[in-house]
Chain A
Amino acid sequence: MARFRIPNAFTRSMLDGHGLIGVIFGAVIYMLCLSGSLIVLVDQLTIWERPQATIVRAVSPDMLQRVSEDAYARASAAGVAHDIFINAPTPELPLLNIYAYGEGGEADNHREWSADANGKLGPALEVPWVVFVQELHFNLTVPGALGRYLVGIFGTLLLASLFTGILAHRRILKDAFRLRWGGSTRLTNADLHNRIGVWALPFHLIVSLTGSLLGLSGLIIFGLAMVAFKGDQTRAIASLLGPQASEDSRPAPVPDIRPMLALIDAETPGARVSQLRLEHVGTAGQQVTVSVAAPGHLTRAESYVFSPDGTLKQKAGFTDGNVGMRIYGMLTPLHYGTYGGLALKVIYALLGGGLTLIVATGGNVWLARRRDQGRPAPRLERLWSGLLWGQPLALTLAAIGEVAGLAPALPTYWAVTLLVWLVVLALPQRLPPARLLRPMAGIALLVLACSHMAINALGNELGNTTSNGIDLLWLSVGLGMLYPFLASCIRRERRV
């Protein structure tokens, strides 16, 4: 029997297509992968950025009622009492945060508060660097729906490059365990690219597919719902998001949420409330959505929608509904790894780091291949190197700016990103950008960790384990980045 062989022309065309996607879109995909690997640890980074925040371990129904009434009174005074969201504490993020939005939603005027363990509202939790990294990952800092759609499109391109990458890989079994380090740059990068790409493929497929759908959901899912329900917008939205608050603006008291919580507790004893949403609050058309943690399920929470009189309107069905609702509930947890505590988040951060490395090494292989073929692209090589090492530097400098109160994260990040690209183009040929930028990023990380620890020592906040853990992480990564530079200095010393 003749052995099946993949035609060379097929591999060649797949490889060309794979390279084309990578070279055109690789820079943005790299930014998204790097910020995504960081944002997996969003709860821990929030505590790290504000270790002095008031810890709230648990909330009682009475306390939630008090908080919602207090928040409504304050939001009314500020003219933003259309919707009120209360994020209850979780084991990973033991904070009680309250958000009030006017009719324009998040984009319009809004207020935020943090509550203490007695439910007393205080100033909002300010975590500008974490918010910035989230925005970079959610919408590339492009405001509005356009940014989200762009991210969704890049998720689809990542998915396309995974498909073409696998089809282009002729020696997938032959090289399954081969990782060569040293020798030629192209071989080292290609081995890293292929080994991580193949062995972590299920993870890469999951995050790119869910990421693509999460980014494009406004376009795809609601577009499909509109077609399926023949343009009936209310039915289309209700089919996935459940019943909506009605437009009855007659004044009404803030609903009593205690009977609602008692009803949920009767169905699932001990269920921990994770979020309360009071929509069109203070009007006759208001409704309350209570989300409770769903241990043992992939979805982060189950949601119950109530009328203001405490009647259950609908249970979303993320844990026990039809297949569609259960998959819908799984999309975000599968993308961000929120279903297995800190250990799983660390696994997600590592695998996300692997995906970032695949994008980085993919670009390196493409550029090295051009050089080996006698068609080097020196400017592109410099810009690519500037991106790979400039991004950690830009993110770290943005963090230093916020931690030390020197500069806001968004302009710092983009200014550093652009400046790095200008600098790498102006550098002399004999100095590779990585040799300059890698130690700079390492030093910036050490400065970040040390300044953060020093600032918190002044506020007597050094006892926070999560915050110290993150500082230790920055120190380790910083030292890791400095290692090649320090090792070469030591070697030079010895030779002298």
Chain B
Amino acid sequence: MLDFVTIGAALLASLGGLFLLWHGWKTHADMRLRAACVALLWSMSAAIWIWRFGAEIGIPLALETAALVAFGFILTRMERREERPARKRAAIVDAAASSSRGSWRRYVLGTVRVLVAGPLGLIAAMAIAVVIATRTPMAEQTRLILAGLIVPTLWAIGIGWVVCHRRLAVQAASFATIGAAGIGLTLLAGA
């Protein structure tokens, strides 16, 4: 029974914050006071989850239930629209893409992009992680795990950077420099 009440209160606080936010969004009201109330309600919700389940479990529970509550709420506010037939447009022929020279160029550039984002990006991320794993003043497991978590994060940022910009030279040079610096530092530390 106690669980039912606590979980219900946490969900209500989360929903209350969301409702206030939605109301302000809908009426274009001044958001300063509203934002403070929303922050207070969401903090209350998180505090209830943490009080009931402890910080380790309470924080992820607060985030996950907030996401579900938000999407459930948005579903109830769905705007229905009339089906509209898609507009017919004349086909655009990309001359560069359709020519054999253009497609070869695209394949070569694509392969280089994959190499820079993939192996080179991973080497750069690992180089930073190696420095964290070997040189930071923490317990050895903490160093290893934090460095391990940093690798996919940095690698993902690197992939994003490579795929979002047409010019590859800057990214390739940066990754190579970071990789060389990390390996150099590790070798120096080992010597």
Contact = CB atoms under 8 A, between A and B. Distances in A.
B153 A159 contact: yes
B141 A163 contact: no
A324 B164 CA distance: 34
Interface in A348-391: 348, 350-351, 354, 371-376
Contacts of A156: 152, 155-156, 159
Interface in A376-412: 376
Given A220-B129, A224-B129, A372-B86, A209 B149 contact: yes
Contacts of B104: none
Contacts of B22: 177
Contacts of B75: 179
Nearest to A12: B164
Interface string A324-350: 110110100010000110001001101
A180 interface: yes
Interface secondary structure of A, over-half rule: helix
B147 to A, nearest CB: 5
A170 interface: no
17 contacts: A21-B163, A156-B156, A160-B157, A180-B79, A199-B74, A200-B71, A202-B67, A209-B153, A216-B151, A225-B144, A227-B134, A240-B144, A323-B138, A324-B141, A339-B60, A351-B67, A372-B86
Nearest to B76: A179
B8 interface: no
A350 B164 contact: no
Given A13-B164, A162-B156, A216-B151, 18 more contacts: A17-B164, A17-B165, A156-B155, A179-B77, A181-B81, A187-B81, A199-B70, A199-B74, A200-B67, A227-B186, A297-B57, A322-B139, A323-B142, A325-B141, A327-B142, A374-B89, A374-B90, A375-B92
Contact of B91 (A181, A212, A372, A374): A374
B143 to A, nearest CB: 7
A14 B164 contact: yes
Contacts of A224: 126, 129-130, 133, 144, 147-148, 151
Interface string A141-180: 0000000000010011101111110010000000011111
Given A220-B148, A322-B142, A182 B71 contact: no
Contacts of B157: 160, 163
Please classify how large the interface on chain A is, using the bins under 10, 10 to 19, 20 to 34, 35 or more. Answer: 35 or more
Interface in A190-218: 195-196, 199-203, 206, 209, 212-213, 216-217
A334 B59 CA distance: 11
A223 interface: yes
B15 to A, nearest CB: 13
Contacts of B87: 372
Contacts of A201: 67
Please classify how large the interface on chain B is, using the bins under 10, 10 to 19, 20 to 34, 35 or more. Answer: 35 or more
B129 A199 contact: no
B141 A182 contact: no
Interface in A294-326: 296-298, 321-325
A176 B25 contact: yes
A214 to B, nearest CB: 10
Contact of B163 (A160, A177, A200): A160
Contact of B126 (A178, A185, A223, A344): A223
Contact of A324 (B21, B64, B82, B138): B138
Given A228-B133, A228-B144, A240-B141, A376 B149 contact: no
B44 interface: no
A203 B156 contact: no
A183 B84 contact: yes
8 tightest A-B CB contacts, nearest first = A324-B142, A17-B164, A324-B141, A183-B81, A374-B89, A17-B163, A159-B156, A212-B152
Contacts of A179: 74-75, 77-79
Contacts of B147: 224
B4 to A, nearest CB: 12
B184 to A, nearest CB: 13
B160 interface: yes
B53 interface: yes
B143 A324 contact: yes
B26 interface: yes
A116 interface: no
A175 B70 CA distance: 14
A322 B141 contact: yes
